[in-house]
Amino acid sequence: MLTTQLPGFKDPVHDAQKTFRALLDALARPGIQQTTASLTPPEGLKPSCAAACLTLLDLETTVWLQPSISGSARSWLLFHTGCRFTADSQTADFAVIDQIEIMPRLDEFNWGTAAYPEASTSLLIQLPALEGTGSAVLQGPGILDTIALQTPLRTPFWQQWQAMTENYPLGLDAWCFADRQVLGLPRTAQLAGRQEGQ
Amino acid sequence: MTLSPQLPSSPALPEPGFNFAYLDEQTKRSIRRAALKAVAIPGHQIPFSSREMPMSYGWGTGGVQVTASVIGQMDTLKVIDQGADDTTNAVNIRRFFRKVCGINTTERTEEATLIQTRHRIPETPLREGQIMVYQVPMPEPLYFIEPSRTEANKMHALEEYGPVYVRLYEDITRFGHIAMAYDYPVMVNDRYLMKPSPIPRFDNPKLHMNPALQLFGAGREKRIYALPPYTKVKSLDFEDHPFTVETWDQPCEFCGATDTYLDEVVTDDQGSRLWICSDTDYCNQRQQNNHLLTPTLS
Ligand SMILES: [Zn+2]
């Protein structure tokens, strides 16, 4: 079957709304998992990440795909959203990542400008699972006191993230996806402590 | 023989001829992207391409567009105007969303998942999971100092808020206090100066560390901004002139509350007047509870 014949949302209006609320709640409550609408994704995209793409992308958005992402995912996104692709991570509104170990450094994406910090890249990070053996403690807006995560994100990511948050309001906002779940990491989420797992 | 299908129980269907929530999907996506950035940068205004709505500016088109982009079939909507659910503005907006979404509506703060408001924050404390949408006439707190949008953006970028403090202090020198009763400016997350929309000063403390997500929509000025739950919000003040809220010498005439925002109501042409809660839902619930309690109290 051709990739483009794979359907998008079963109910485009309400599935996009449900997924938007999951993305919104994820950013508003960093560290708390949310659930997107379900769909059958193309090879290379997690269901929740595919749902986020259908919800956020259209002709007005420029997308950077990590080169490891399959051609069928690319043609599915083009067919269903009409988004533009770029090979330059600095010009991307959204970046889809599926191998975090070999992703570009965070400062290779667009952090916005002092007057328009919103003109930044949003990261859509696909993970095998949202739970992992590395612990991170976050604080910031959306978090009452602090929140502890057990996450597969490792030291190199958190080091870069911490360096990035020192440049607030410049920075990146990220969502992590696995299966139908999503976790939000707005640029305001500051690392208050962490410990590498085994 | 064929079995007739069981219809799932759902709220009233929206009227045909409209996309759900009136806006087309392209417009919703663009407003949604702006709202997500707004949540990620609390208090910072994000431009969006505002659409024509079937109501005029001043009727809350910014709030209506934000609500239309956020609302879903499972939501229960409450709409208030100056604290009341039954004013023309509130009734019209509630009717509009019933018509184009077929969703449930309520007047009770605790039953609502989504609350669109003009000029008040409910007295009933909001909870996690609720979303407040504020109608904003004028979003830029620097406008009275710097009318140019580009220059105001630069001032926000540099955190150049000194002139605002100077202006407020001039009030203190002239009047002995800060004369701003509504839309009193706040600092969000120690970074952005923000206008909370024309809510009374009384409501400012409720903005701080509120468990609900608060979204602000300005239709004419085409801006969206936000306060995520549990965000620090500080009303501007000075060490020798701390921020204070309004107080009243008498309780609410109807429910006896002494801790709510009261409206003055003129009751006859002799100028007699009463003070009553501006939040009608809160006041009604208190009156019902008082009524139930009366026999045991006497
Ligand atoms: Zn009352």
Each domain of chain B, given as residue ranges in start order, spans: 25-142+181-235, 247-292
Residue B198 Cα to ligand 1 middle (Å)? 21
Residue ranges covered by each domain of chain A: 12-128+169-190
Residues of B in contact with A169 (CB under 8 A): 41, 44, 191-192
- Identify the band that residue A193 occupies on the pLDDT scale cut at 50, 70 and 90: confident
CA distance A164 to chain B (A): 14
Of B73, B227, B230, the CB nearest to A143: B230
Say if B13 is an interface residue toward chain A (CB within 8 Å).
no
Hey, how many other C-beta atoms are within 10 angstroms of the C-beta on B48? 25
- pLDDT for the residue B286: 96
Q: pLDDT per residue over B146-203, tens digit each? A: 999 999 999 999 999 999 999 999 989 999 888 889 999 999 999 999 999 999 999 9
> Which residue, A58, A21, A56, A57, is CA-closest to A37?
A21
Cβ contact, residue pair A117, B44, below 8 Å: yes
Q: Which residues of B are catalytic?
A: 43, 252, 255, 277, 283
Say if A142 is an interface residue toward chain B (CB within 8 Å).
yes
Q: Is the CATH number of domain A12-128+169-190 3.30.460.90?
A: no
Q: pLDDT per residue over B40-72, tens digit each? A: 999 999 999 888 888 776 678 999 999 999 999
Q: pLDDT per residue over B3-16, tens digit each? A: 433 333 345 567 77
ipTM entry: 0.97
What's the number of CA atoms in the CB half-sphere (13 Å) around residue B193? 23
| Spatial contact of B215 and B66, defined as CB atoms under 8 Å apart | yes
Cβ contact, residue pair B36, A168, below 8 Å: no
Out of 3.40.50.150, 3.30.1360.150, 3.30.360.10, 3.40.50.11310, select the CATH number for domain B25-142+181-235: 3.40.50.11310
CA distance A33 to chain B (A): 13
pTM for the complete prediction?
Answer: 0.94
Cβ contact, residue pair A118, B157, below 8 Å: no
| Spatial contact of B164 and B141, defined as CB atoms under 8 Å apart | yes
Say if B229 is an interface residue toward chain A (CB within 8 Å).
yes
